[in-house]
Amino acid sequence: MSLIIAAAQSASVPGDISGNVTHHLRFGNMAAERGAQLLVFPELSLTGYELTTARSNALRPDSSDLNPLRHLATHAPMTVVVGTPMLDDHDELRIAAFAVRSDGSVLTYTKEYVHQSEEGVFRSGPGGPALLVEDATVALAICADAAHPEHAARAAARGATVYAVGVMITEDGYTRKAALLKNYALEHRMAVLMANYSGVTGGSVSAGKSALWSEDGQLVAASTGSEEALVVGMKQNGGWNGIVLPLSSP
């Protein structure tokens, strides 16, 4: 069976959840046209990487703000993984990935390794279960999670065949972090998909260069810069092909 997965290299307007959801739909429609079964967005994509306003913009998995994404996921069909601040049942703020599935349900993953710069705002979370996308077992990660080799190792030990990471990485950190992801692919024999931001968010400039590596560590497809784009990988008969598409006009 074929598997088609995609990373959205998207820009976000600070705190504009409704506008960002609409912008996410543009990527979602492009991905659906390509037959994608999984679409992954950057860390905190629904709000931007904005730490000072995170609590006031926090969402819960049952939020009506997600309804357009539920509609996309059920009608495509595909699983759409978006980033958001989330208040848990104890009113603690987490960095979360909401995986909106093709049946309309939402699986929640929370960042396990909160970066030092985020500790004054967010609490580390417990992670979350893997996703089943067609025949693939997809483990989620959020940015600094993937800086800890044990995180990828645990994912592989639980049977992950795809490691999907939403990030905010600047040019200074890109080379080192991309090398880590490539090594995880090779060491653990799992495809690695990385969705990075386009443009400026939280006062920092993203490196872009969203990418997909195959199970043998080979680069399947990658954006060459930070322009908004969709990175698509297609696996069929055990081999990968990829393409990078610029974001289409509205």
Full residue range of the structural domain in which residue 95 is found: 3-246
Mean pLDDT score, 215-240: 96
**Confidence tier at 68 by pLDDT (50, 70, 90):** very high
Q: Is the pLDDT of residue 1 over 70?
A: no
Average pLDDT over residues 69-78: 98
How many structural domains compose the chain?
A: 1
- Distance from C-alpha of 18 to C-alpha of 197, rounded to nearest angstrom: 18
- Give the percent of the chain with pLDDT over 90: 97
φ and ψ of 235, to 5 deg: -110, 125
Q: Given a cut of 90, is residue 28 above it in pLDDT?
A: yes
| Helix (H), strand (E), coil (C) string for the chain | CCEEEEEEECCCCCCCHHHHHHHHHHHHHHHHHCCCCEEECCCCCCCCCCCCCCHHHCECCCCHHHHHHHHHHHHCCCEEEEEEEEECCCCCEEEEEEEECCCCCEEEEECCCCCHHHCCCCCCCCECCCEEECCEEEEEEEHHHHHCHHHHHHHHHCCCCEEEEECCCEHHHHHHHHHHHHHHHHHHCCEEEEECCCCEECCEEECCCCEEECCCCCEEEECCCCCCEEEEEEEECCEEEEEEEECCCC
Residues 54 and 47: beta-carbon distance below 8 Å: yes
Task: Give the pLDDT score at 16.
Answer: 98
- pLDDT band at 191; cut points 50, 70, 90: very high
Average pLDDT, the chain: 97
The answer on pLDDT for 249 being more than 80 is no
Q: Which CATH number do you get for residue 68?
A: 3.60.110.10
Query: pLDDT (tens digit, 9 = 90+) per residue, 39-48?
Result: 999 999 999 9
Q: Which one, of 61, 64, 115, lies nearest residue 85 by Cα?
A: 61
